[in-house]
Each structure stands twice: as C-alpha cells, then as structure tokens.
Amino acid sequence: MTTSVSLHEALIYVMVTMSAADRTMTDSEFRKIGEEVQNLPLFEDFSNDRLVGVAEDCGTLLSKDEGLDGVLNIVANSLPEKFYETAYALAVEVAAADLHVEQEELRYLEMLRDRLNISSLAIAAIEHSARVRYRVT
C-alpha cells in the first residue's frame, strides 16, 4: 500500500474521506471540494483535471482492508505538520457544506484531529469559524 502522497493529494484525501464518512456523498460536498481546490492559493499549482482521479484513488484506498485507517496513515505520513490545521479546516468545510453534520462525520473529524494531534484551541477556532459562516436564520 502507498505510504505517502503529495501534499495536494493528502488534502484531497481528507476532503473526500470527510464526504464519504456518512456513506452519502452529496452534491454540495462535491461542489465544496471542487471550490476549495479551485480557489485556495495552496492548490494554485495543482491541475484541476487531476481532482477526479485523486478522488477515485482515495475511494479505492477506502474500499481496501485498511480502509479509513489506511487513508489516515497516508495523510499523516504525507502532510507536513504546518498543514495539519489546514487539513482539519478543509474537512470541517466539507462537513458543513450541506448544512447538516452526521454522527459518522463527527467521528471522522475526531479521528482526524487525534491522528494529526491538533490542539483543542485550534479545533475550537476552526469549528467556531465554520459555525458562524454557515449559520442560517
């Protein structure tokens, strides 16, 4: 099994896995992944044409015996520490995209922050920021 991927691929794996966590990948989640890849400066040297292939690679890894744990290992091995909070923020963005977060999605966020050892202060800030941006009436 692959033990590491590029920074871009690792971040896309985080977002795709977030979308797949509740076994329902919604259009709004797919749209959000595309928006993040297209608009964030971090992805400016990533070819958007590769997005579908990277997402499919992640799906293939998720379907293997190692599944979610294997993908989390790849992400942890691939991301420089300074991008851990970025990865978590991207996962939160995808979770919030359809304005409803399922229990499985919360569990994935918990696993991701534990695997990447993200501070509770950073977690609170990222989650609070998403709550206020996605608040409706």
Looking up residue 58, the CATH number of its domain turns out to be 1.10.3680.10
pLDDT digits over 5-20, tens only? Answer: 999 999 999 999 999 9
- Output the average pLDDT for the chain: 94
Range of the domain at 74: 7-133
pLDDT at residue 109, rounded to an integer: 96
Q: Is residue 1 situated within a structural domain?
A: no
pLDDT reported for residue 135: 86
Please provide the DSSP assignment of 57-90 as one string. Answer: HHHHHHTSTTHHHHHHHHHHHHS-GGGHHHHHHH
- What is the average pLDDT across 50-56? 96
Give the span between the Cα atoms of 110 and 43, in whole angstroms: 25
Instruction: Give residue-wise pLDDT tens across range 76-135.
Output: 999 999 999 999 999 999 999 888 888 999 999 999 999 999 999 999 999 999 999 888
In a domain, 83, yes or no: yes
Residue 82 falls inside a structural domain: yes
Q: Is position 2 within any domain? A: no
Domain total in the chain: 1
Which pLDDT score is estimated for 1? 58
Which amino acid appears at position 97 of this protein? A
